[in-house]
Structures are given as structure tokens and as C-alpha cells.
Amino acid sequence: MAEPEVYDLRGLICPLPVLKTRRRLSTMKPGDRLWVETTDALAVLDIPAYCQQSGNALLESVAVEGGHRFLIERTKIEKN
């Protein structure tokens, strides 16, 4: 399995982290993984909610200095 890409969304505020994450994941193959880095406090709620609604797997959520990192795995079919 390839090393997950890192998608730096630090400095962006709601709703941009979720919208940009959704767009990036839509270009990836099923099984690909993506680290999303954010500084928006609402991303702690928004990214997990997006993953649950879309069917993509949130594998890890980690608080880091100044923000948060999320490891997401692209699923075969995104729910609408």
C-alpha cells in the first residue's frame, strides 16, 4: 500500500476544509488514503460528519499543535 498523501488545508475555515477534502477524495482510487491537515476548530466535527455521510472511512483523528490531522480512506462508492 502506498504512503498516504498529505493534504494541507491549514489556514482555511469552514466550509472549505470539507469541500476541498471531498473534491480531492473524488479524484482518488478506492483504497487510497489521505491525511488531511486543518487548523479550523470546526473541522473536528465537520470532517468526521462528512466521512460518515459520504461512506469514506475515517481511520484516524489526531490533535496536533495548532490543529488536527485526519486519515481518510477512499471507499468504492460515495453516498450522496
Length of the chain: 80
Q: Please confirm, yes or no, whether 14 is among the known catalytic residues.
A: yes
Enumerate residues 6+ apart whose C-beta is below 8 A from 7: 20, 21, 24, 34, 35, 36, 37
The catalytically annotated residue of 4, 7, 12, 14 is 14
Catalytic residues: 14
